[in-house]
Structure 1
Amino acid sequence: MMRTEGDSWDIVTSVGLTALGVATFRALETIDPEPMIHDDYAAWFVEAAGEPHFTQMLDDPASVGKMRRFGRFMGVRTRFFDEFFAAAWQQGVRQAVILASGLDARAYRLDWPAGTVVFEIDQPRVLEFKDRVLAEHGAVAKADRRVVAVDLRDDWPAALTAAGLDPERPTAWSAEGLLPFLPGSAHDALFERIDALSSPGSSVATDDFGRGLDPQRFADTEEKFFGSNPFGNLDVSDLWYDDARAVPGDWLARQGWSVHSTTPVDLAAGYAQPITDMPAELLDLMQQARYVSAEKRR
């Protein structure tokens, strides 16, 4: 399943299926005896989509086996972005933009301060599925949630401002699990547009494999460490782009943002949930990956 220019997807195909997989592992992490995160909405999406590989995981968590390790990585990632938004609102930020929001339920499960607006950007069919499931369960957002159905390869700033984003006010931006799925040109334009739409006091967080992103190496290491492909028959690396692109942390620093970077291994240790029994190949790959947060200086 290779990418093509202008391709689109729903929740059980292509990039949409990866969002469903992430929701599955968030659901599994939630029912872990020592969960790193709580996402009671994730299971709703998996059940509604009815994709056999993922529904089997939720029906029989014991069958997950070594793939449970992948759920711990998703727990680390989810907690990083949860804490990023919490830090932003503690600084008085009341606008948040979740880029490629997929099945992210943060507008519902985080305790946003009164007056916060949360914008979610993603493909139209993904958002349609998500909204239908949430409505069926009577879910109520804890913020002013506004969906923006637009492809991130297109003119999403126009759609976002039309939905009410105020570039004169600080904004917290997240790009979670997104960057490898963008061509280099769209990847670099993403950060240029974030910078242009951000007033001083804004912040951004992303996860980035950077120069360590080798799709084949990732696939081989994934099979060895997790025992099988966490995404079933979908080879996620087929959906990635590995063309030239800027390093997000370096680019943001050059634009005057204050940048902090850490690895998923160090994050897990900091959460008192160290990832152990890791083969050298995966440890090396994870040490090259980065979780990046940055604040635009005043």
Structure 2
Amino acid sequence: MRDPLRDVSRTSLVTAALRAAETRRPDRLYDDPYAEHLAGEDGPALAAEVSAFYRHSSGVPRITAFNAIRTRFFDDRLLARTRAGAGQVVICAAGMDTRAYRLGWPPGVRVFEVDYPEVLAAKEHVLARLGAAPRCAGHHLVGADLAEPGWGDRLLAAGYDPGGPSAWILEGLLYYLDEVDVRALLRRVRALTAPGATMTANVAAASTLRAPSLQPLLGVFRGWGAPWVFGVDDPAALWAEYGFRADVVLPGQAGAHFGRWSDADEAASRTVRLLFVDGTRV
């Protein structure tokens, strides 16, 4: 039988493999019991290929530390927003994300996952085999290409209410879109949200895409057909263009450290700037 994960993007499998490795740590920042299965046979090898470029001497922050912090940062933001009344969570480019299954959601929360239909189907195949069940009140899979204009209509057809409180995440996505597509995506999110909605994402600074220390790693992603093409040095200003007041948080700062960001990571991040952007629609 063909493994459905064979057709999933390599970046999704890398993320799953890193989350599986974090889950095995006694001091783990989160628990993702499904990640090892979702990483498949290819994920660990792909993660090792990427991790080879994250050495303290390379001037690049460790991918293991960054991924662990990023995952926990997004987890904390989503749980805080839903506990405060956001009844809808939208995960853009969900990939192998299992938050619908692993987080302790407040009553009534509905989670919408948007990604290519084949990606969502592959993940659901594995989770069904494991007997996993969502922990949210409603779990909706929206098969769509976020670079195409019709994805918002599919989200609405799945039952999303644009007038209701919502929390959106764009995790590990914006690197791979060109600026035209990034702006189209942000414009569409604004059209699909009401004041008070939140949108949290991670981005690279534009200067980071030119950093010499990062070029070998970016070459790996290009070879996988997933080049990093978008960066922004002032993401708060970009969010503001689409009606979101945003805070920008760097790994290692308060709320994004968790004891994992080393002095070497901090030094590397002065050149390789990977940013968390946490915005609220005004």
TM-score range, shorter chain: 0.7 to 0.9
State how 1:124-139 maps to structure 2 within 5 Å. Answer: 124-139=117-132
Q: 1:283 aligns with which of 269, 273, 277?
A: 269
Give the counterpart letter for 1:152 in structure 2: L
Q: Cα gap change, 1:70/1:168 in structure 2, threshold over 3 Å: closer, same or farther?
A: same
The 3-state SS of whatever aligns with 1:198 is: coil
Matched, 1:262 2:249: yes
CA contact (8 A) 1:260 1:292 kept: yes
Number of the residue aligned with 1:89: 82
Give the counterpart letter for 2:81 in structure 1: A
Bigger Cα displacement from structure 2, 252-261 vs 184-193: 252-261
CA contact (8 A) 2:206 2:232 kept: no
Q: 1:249 aligns with which of 236, 243, 246?
A: 236
Number of the residue aligned with 2:105: 112
Q: Cα gap change, 1:159/1:246 in structure 2, threshold over 3 Å: closer, same or farther?
A: farther
Matched, 1:208 2:199: no
Return the TM-score normalized by structure 1: 0.80
CA contact (8 A) 1:11 1:19 kept: no
CA contact (8 A) 2:175 2:231 kept: no
CA contact (8 A) 2:88 2:166 kept: yes
Q: Cα gap change, 1:56/1:193 in structure 2, threshold over 3 Å: closer, same or farther?
A: closer
The 3-state SS of whatever aligns with 2:22 is: helix
Q: Cα gap change, 1:209/1:38 in structure 2, threshold over 3 Å: closer, same or farther?
A: same
- Among all aligned residue pairs of Structure 1 and Structure 2, give the percentage whose two residues are the same amino acid: 30
Matched, 1:31 2:24: yes
The 3-state SS of whatever aligns with 2:270 is: helix
Bigger Cα displacement from structure 2, 202-211 vs 262-271: 262-271
Provide the C-alpha distance between the structure 2 equivalents of 1:89 and 1:97, rounded to a whole number of angstroms. 12
Matched, 1:191 2:186: yes
Give the counterpart letter for 1:208 in structure 2: V
Q: Cα gap change, 1:204/1:157 in structure 2, threshold over 3 Å: closer, same or farther?
A: same
The 3-state SS of whatever aligns with 1:264 is: coil
Give the counterpart letter for 1:284 in structure 2: R
Return the TM-score normalized by structure 2: 0.84
Provide the C-alpha distance between the structure 1 equivalents of 2:101 and 2:270, rounded to a whole number of angstroms. 36
1:211 is displaced (CA, Å) by 1.5
Q: 2:166 aligns with which of 166, 171, 189?
A: 171
Matched, 1:294 2:279: yes
Give the counterpart letter for 1:164 in structure 2: G
The 3-state SS of whatever aligns with 2:91 is: strand
Provide the C-alpha distance between the structure 1 equivalents of 2:167 and 2:133, rounded to a whole number of angstroms. 22
Q: 1:75 aligns with which of 68, 80, 86?
A: 68
1:135-188 CA-to-partner distances (Å, cap 9, x unmatched) read 000000011110001000112101100111101101100000000111221110
CA contact (8 A) 1:188 1:245 kept: no
CA contact (8 A) 1:185 1:245 kept: no
Number of the residue aligned with 1:60: none
Number of the residue aligned with 2:146: 152
1:215 is displaced (CA, Å) by 6.2
The 3-state SS of whatever aligns with 1:265 is: coil
Number of the residue aligned with 1:271: 258
Gap regions ≥5 residues in structure 1:
1-9, 58-62, 224-228
1:255 is displaced (CA, Å) by 4.1
CA contact (8 A) 2:102 2:135 kept: yes
Q: Cα gap change, 1:87/1:279 in structure 2, threshold over 3 Å: closer, same or farther?
A: closer
CA contact (8 A) 2:32 2:98 kept: yes
Provide the C-alpha distance between the structure 1 equivalents of 2:91 and 2:24, rounded to a whole number of angstroms. 25
Bigger Cα displacement from structure 2, 171-180 vs 252-261: 252-261
CA contact (8 A) 2:206 2:231 kept: no
Provide the C-alpha distance between the structure 2 equivalents of 1:219 and 1:55, rounded to a whole number of angstroms. 17
